Amino acid sequence: MKIAAAAMATLMLATTPSFCAGFERVTVTDPDGPPLEAGIWYPSEAPASSQPLGLYQQTVATGGAVAGHGLPLIVMSHGSGGSFEGHYDTALALVEAGFVVAAVTHTGDNYRDHSGFAQIENRPRHIKALVDYMLSTWPQHDRLDPARIGMFGFSAGGFTALVTVGGTPDLRRVAENCAAHPDEWACRKIREFAGQGHATPVVFVHDPRVVAAVIAAPAIGYSFTPQGLAGVTAPIQLWRGDSDEILPHPRHAQNVYESLPVKPDYHVVPNAGHFAFLAPCTAMAEKFAPDICHDPAGFDRAAFHREFNPAVVAFFTAKLPPRP
């Protein structure tokens, strides 16, 4: 259990070309639900400029031409109540190393709409729809290497990533956990949406095209048993903050670590709270979304991301190597 040193990651990426980032917003068809909003970042040689992105500001070439062929793809899943924008800095770091990144806003579980909070089975289906779009509908799909697809997931997105790569949660454990820990954030939220329920048995969608995953602060981690994760063969980089106030240790990330059949590359970040893995906050984020900007006293999120982003890039660079 460690934090990868930025110097190590930089050494591993020394021969990787550096790109500017192109960017576009798209609408992705979900065959079983409303259309999905998504953002796509990709290598480009077009001139970049500072552009607003929700609560953030990013330097991109909006609509710039894609550079390169045989590009690896990383899909991203945000936490409950978030959006595709929340990990833009990690996306930009990946693009600089030659990756294409596609991030979805989960319908029914985003900052505008919480109506589908309890329908967590929708999330892996959204990721499958996003991969389908990128490999077939995206106008630049022929630039991608379909054999090199990874996934980044944070919080509920971490749960989504575990399911996507083959995990099956035991949702009966949710009631047991909330009976024992009724004040946990997710348990309070579940009570708020208690009327949603499920008319039919929950079916989770896996996607074997995703062959590696970075999972940060996975939500509902206690729902995964060794049997439920037995089918996970993809290499995983697992992260948690040691001061996570939303997903208390050891019920979430630690349970995932102990239940995976092959132990992941596990990083425990000193003094980090739950939201440490989101992009460093801007003044606008501080004003309109102060909760996601909260970190424990003395924790420097921007400094952490100068280690975190290179470590994520190094992992995917190693696990999604070019075809020989």
Q: Is residue 160 part of a domain?
A: yes
Residues of the chain with pLDDT under 70: 1-18, 194-200
Closest CA to 319 of 94, 21, 19: 94
Domain count within the chain: 1
Q: How many CB atoms lie within 10 A of CB 70?
A: 14
- The predicted structure's pLDDT at residue 222: 97
SS3 annotation, the chain: CCCCCHHHHHHHCCCCCCCEEEEEEEEECCCCCCCEEEEEEEEECCCCEEEEECCEEEEEEECCCCCCCCEEEEEEECCCCCCHHHHHHHHHHHHHCCCEEEEEECCCCCCCCCCCCCCCCHHHHHHHHHHHHHHHHCCCHHHEEEEEEEEEEECHHHHHHHHHCCCCCCCHHHHHHHHHCCCCHHHHHHHHCCCCCCCCCCCCCCCCCCCEEEEECCCCHHHCCCCCCCCCCCCEEEEEECCCCCCCCCCCHHHHHHHCCCCCEEEEECCCCHHHHCCCCCHHHHHHCHHHHCCCCCCCHHHHHHHHHHHHHHHHHHHCCCCC
Q: Is residue 152 part of a domain?
A: yes
Domain range for 275 = 6-19+121-194+203-319
- The predicted structure's pLDDT at residue 221: 97
Q: Is residue 212 part of a domain?
A: yes
- The predicted structure's pLDDT at residue 169: 97
Q: Is residue 226 part of a domain?
A: yes
In order, the DSSP letters of 122-183 are HHHHHHHHHHHIIIIISTTGGGEEEEEEEEEEETHHHHHHHHHTT----THHHHHHHHH-TT
- The predicted structure's pLDDT at residue 242: 97
Q: Is residue 268 part of a domain?
A: yes
**Gyration radius from the chain CA atoms:** 18
- The predicted structure's pLDDT at residue 184: 93
pTM value is 0.93
Q: What is the CATH number of the domain that holds 232?
A: 3.40.50.1820
| β-pair partners for 58 | 51
Which tokens sit at 255? 């349970």
Tell me the pLDDT tens digit for each residue of 227-285. Answer: 999 999 999 999 999 999 999 999 999 999 999 999 999 999 999 999 999 999 999 99
